[in-house]
Amino acid sequence: FFKKRKGKQTPPSTFFHIISSMASNIIILMMIMVLRVVEGAAERAFFVFGDSLVDTGNNNYLATSARADSPPYGIDYPTHRPTGRFSNGLNIPDIISEKLGIEPTLPYLSPELQGEKLLVGANFASAGVGVLNDTGIQFVNIIRIGQQLEYFAEYQKRVGALIGSEKAKQLVKEGLVLITLGGNDFVNNYYLVPFSVRSRQYMLPDYVSYVISEYKNVLQKLYSLGARRVIVTGTGPLGCVPAELAQRSRDGSCADDLQQAAVLFNPQLVEMLNGLNSEIGSHVFVAANTNQMHLDFITDPQAFGFVTSKVACCGQGPYNGMGLCTPLSNLCSNRDEYAFWDPFHPTEKANRIIVEQILTGTTDYMHPMNLSTIMVMDSKA
């Protein structure tokens, strides 16, 4: 290690000074890289599609029963008021925006989504929707995924009128997209009632294949509308949510039929995304293994600081899993001790655990790469 010069060796103290300087320079370079990534994120639009797990309030503007606009929803939101989010506080898109240092995206139907705020992106998600058009018909008036995509096309025209069509196309191309669908196609369709229309029409494996094929069409349409970085979440462990434990479990164990649906659906979703990426020739679609993310804190809640992953914080009946979360519901005093906020949806704390895996998780959670890797790669492009 010590360099000879004129028959003498460089003193160890000098050598360690050189190493120290090199380490300092490396740290400075890393800080510059992180700053550049954050700067890039600040200019990057964020678009959200899907269901109640990611809806930030679109359903507030609709005549529908799929709403979260009354207390105690939003009890831990900065305003401590309900916002239409199915959470005690922030949901997954909010936390992703927070981590990337960008403004939270507004619901597309919000009258506040005007002018410069359009450049931040938009949230098109609507509670109750699924991949299939007949999913969520019991909620009557929701923004089905086809309509969400039509709104996305409309959004681009609005942005084009603001900054020009070419810049609008670039904004979308460089934007980040999150889409969360699939769970309702099982919970609120196939297994909604015994002998449902879909369960009489399809055996479960065939139904899963059908939903996957329809989801592929959705993602191809999203790609045709300009999306080039799309995080696609799988379903969570459907049979383990408090609502299903209350209806289907005698001993607190997860409901086998819904678990089987998740076991079949999630690997096929990844396979379909891999196929799409191969056809395109680029890693446009990134799979988020939200099933495993949920299972981590469901199977070992204490490891994450939860007291329970079976009982919802807000609800009634067994496991607080019956009906909706209302002002008359049982309400826990410390939401951070609960993995589930209401019979179906995680608490803000659980959402933060999920987002952390989206950001930095290994390939067990994010395939083929996590969001931090995407941000670094795109900052160099």
Active site residues: 52, 342, 345
The residue type found at 368 is: P
**Cβ atoms < 10 Å from Cβ of 320:** 28
Quote the distance between the C-alpha of residue 109 and its chain's center. 20
Alpha-carbon distance values, 244 to 69, 87, 200, 370 (Å): 23, 18, 21, 30
* Distance between CA atoms of residues 127 and 286, nearest Å: 23
Q: Which long-range contacts (CB under 8 A, 24 or more apart) does 102-109 make?
A: 102/41, 102/42, 102/44, 102/46, 104/56, 105/46, 105/47, 105/48, 105/56, 106/56, 107/55, 107/56, 107/57, 107/58, 107/60, 107/61, 108/58, 108/151, 108/155, 109/58, 109/60, 109/61, 109/62, 109/143
